[in-house]
Amino acid sequence: MRVVLQRVSEASVKIDYKLCAVIHEGILILLGIEEEDTQEDIEWLTRKIINMRIFNDDEGVMNRSLNQVDGDAIVVSQFTLHASTKKGNRPSYIKAAKPEVAEPLYEKFIAHFEKEFGKQVGKGRFGADMKISLINDGPVTIIIDSKNKS
């Protein structure tokens, strides 16, 4: 699993011009899923994201986690995070999991994240054409891949 985390002062998701998720201080999580991803990847990534100290403390140092700032989160599935651009100019998505594999893992990720986080998160809809708006705070943008744990 690969994620792009963006620390935001606000973010929202619209599907068919309808607002389906909105947050203020928190993180927007763009989630890319591969065929070989497992529950272990979900658990490791969830812990990593929730405990990542990317929010400022009173001295302006990134020293606080999402829980410590009582932030919120939105999770959006994004298969393009596994794009291969090595050959030609058209990205290949061969590493991205097929929908029948990816969608259940996306739902499991959200359920596990909410359980560990202790509250509901906003979300997109798997496979939908979504419009994501955000104000990246900082800017702080971090990429994490569960296959690169060490």
Enzyme catalytic residues: 80
> What DSSP line would sit under the chain, residue for residue?
-EEEEEEEEEEEEEETTEEEEEESSEEEEEEE-BTT--HHHHHHHHHHHHH---EE-TTS-EEE-TTTTT-EEEEEE-GGGG-B-SSSSS-B-TTBPPHHHHHHHHHHHHHHHHHHHTS--EE--TT--EEEEEEEEEEEEEEEETT---
